[in-house]
Amino acid sequence: MRYGVIPTSPPEMIAAAFKKIPYPILDVLVGPIQAWALVVASGLGVLNSIATEQLTARELATRANCDEECLRLLLRVVRAMGYVALAGDRYRLTAKARRHFGPAAAEPYAAFARYGPPQWKMLERLASVVRSGRGVDFHNHQTAEEWRLYQAAMLENARGFGWFVAERMPVPSGASECIDIAGSHGYVSAALCRRHQGLKATVIERREALESARELATQAGHGDLVSFREGDLLVDSFGTDIDVALLCNILHHLSVESNRDVLRRVHTALKRGGTIGVFDIETPTARSRPEAAADALALYFRITSTSTCFQAEDYLKWLADAGFADRRVIRSVKLPSRMLITARKR
Ligand SMILES: C[S@@+](CC[C@H](N)C(=O)[O-])C[C@H]1O[C@@H](n2cnc3c(N)ncnc32)[C@H](O)[C@@H]1O
């Protein structure tokens, strides 16, 4: 994946050939402006309004109660990003945007957009993180409102990969107990329960997450498949006689030692034949070509938690050391840089 200032028209390509493009100026300004423009267009309800109707800037400005001239400028930026199209003087969402914004979005990201600014507050700490090597550990510093936005954003993120975990996760026959450790909204374990009759899930979550997580599960329609329990995955027991344990997008927040400890405790909690699934981002190897998304996320998790994403081999080794058999890495061409690692208790 590439992300950046990429000349597309002949004059831009000529300017690039003559080395006349001030890349640092554009890199410093364009990315943040585009990101803010998308967040604000979504937050003002502008993207929602043009999901189903084509509206002029004046109509949109009236509805959103904002300045028409500024709105036009904002919409030009969002058009350059490919989310909005203009036909005559009427704006509408593009097909890409309709998938992610508006009341009928198949894979909505409006909550993730709202959670953008709290994430940028963490990114502002990059220089001090690089100097000290210590991350922000945001789970210990979020306000109640940020927790609410975080959980809603995580549900949206989970819609994009939950199908993969549900399809590929091995589940012992007759399984009835699944634990979704740090499962937030419970979307992933609910998708698994839907595929395996008789399976019920328990999300184990931090206290701060529980209220929103329960509400989200009810709104999303899987409140009957998932229950919620307060717990600290760093220290608490995960119970006994568990058939399936999921750890999605959590181990990249923890140190190597904590991850090894969590996997040992999951092993203790599982029945013989019980299975574990770790779904996470796969960090690029030191020798692989730098890539915009995976490398940015590896740095992001270092900033936000003092840990980072790991490689498949790391998980495989920790699982082997914790006593797990049948260890497998499952990837999908539809989910670049993500992987599901599964294993079984003998
Ligand atoms: C990145 S989200 C992933 C949520 C969900 N598993 C998913 O993939 O969509 C990480 C979750 O871990 C939870 N979490 C973080 N530290 C935790 C801890 N010590 N104990 C339990 N849950 C924790 C957070 O509250 C958050 O909901």
- Residue 160 is encoded by which pair of tokens? 């994009």
Given a contact cutoff of 8 angstroms between Cβ atoms, the answer to whether 78 and 92 are in contact is no
| In a shared domain, residues 46 and 182 | no
Mean pLDDT over residues 88-107, rounded? 97
Whether residue 72 is contained in a domain is answered as yes
113 vs 3, more confident:
113
Q: How far is CA 213 from the centre of its chain?
A: 15
> Which pLDDT does position 230 carry in this prediction?
98
For residue 184, report the distance from its CA to the centre of ligand 1, in Å.
Answer: 6
Number of domains in the chain: 2
**What percentage of the chain exceeds 70 in pLDDT?**
100
- CA-wise closest residue to 186 among 223, 219, 157: 223
Say whether 271 sits in a helix, a strand or coil.
strand
Same domain (yes/no): 178, 319: yes
pLDDT of residue 308: 83
> Please, what is the average pLDDT of the chain?
96
| CATH assignment at residue 27 | 1.10.10.10
| 317 and 244 in a common domain | yes
Atom of ligand 1 nearest to the CA of 232: 20
Identify whether residues 195 and 269 lie together within a single domain.
yes
Q: Is the CB of 189 under 6 A from ligand 1?
A: no
The residue segments making up the domain with residue 336 are 158-284+307-345
Q: What is the pLDDT of residues 23-41, one digit of tens each?
A: 999 999 999 999 999 999 9
For residues 115 and 146, give the distance between their C-alpha atoms in angstroms, rounded to a whole number: 7
Q: Which residue do the tokens 């499952």 mark?
A: 330
Say yes or no: 205 and 86 in one domain: no
Q: Which ligand 1 atom sits closest to the C-alpha of 184? A: 27
Structure tokens at 80: 């350059």
* pLDDT of 82 above 90: yes
| Nearest atom within ligand 1 for CA of residue 213 | 27
Report the pLDDT averaged over residues 61-71.
97
Residue 292 lies in a domain: no
123 in any annotated domain: no
- Indicate if the alpha-carbon torsion angle 189, 190, 193, 195 is positive or negative: negative
148 within domain boundaries: no
The residue out of 65, 87, 105 marking a domain boundary is: 105
Six token digits for residue 293: 């998304």
Residues 101 and 220 in one domain: no
pLDDT of residue 122: 95
Measure 280 CA to ligand 1 centroid, in angstroms.
Answer: 12
Specify if 93 maps to a domain. Answer: yes
Pick from 81, 141, 139: nearest CA to 113: 81
CATH of the domain at 244: 3.40.50.150
Q: Is 276 within the bounds of a domain? A: yes
97 and 172, same structural domain?
no
In a domain, 49, yes or no: yes
The answer on 326 and 208 residing in a single domain is yes
Distances (CA, A) of 247 to 15, 141, 153, 277, 341: 49, 22, 18, 6, 10
What is the C-alpha separation between 190 and 162, in angstroms, rounded?
9
Asked if the structure places residue 278 within a domain, the reply is yes
| 242: amino acid identity, one letter | I
Residues 94 and 175 reside in one and the same domain: no
Are 282 and 268 a contacting pair, CB within 8 Å? no
Domain end (from 68, 83, 105): 105
- 50 is written with which tokens? 């043009």
> What are the angstrom distances between the C-alpha of 15 and each of 24, 30, 162?
15, 18, 44
Domain boundary among 89, 105, 121: 105
Q: Averaged over 51-68, what is the pLDDT?
A: 97
- Identify whether residues 88 and 162 lie together within a single domain: no
Q: CA 11, 12, 15, 16: dihedral to nearest 10 degrees?
A: -140
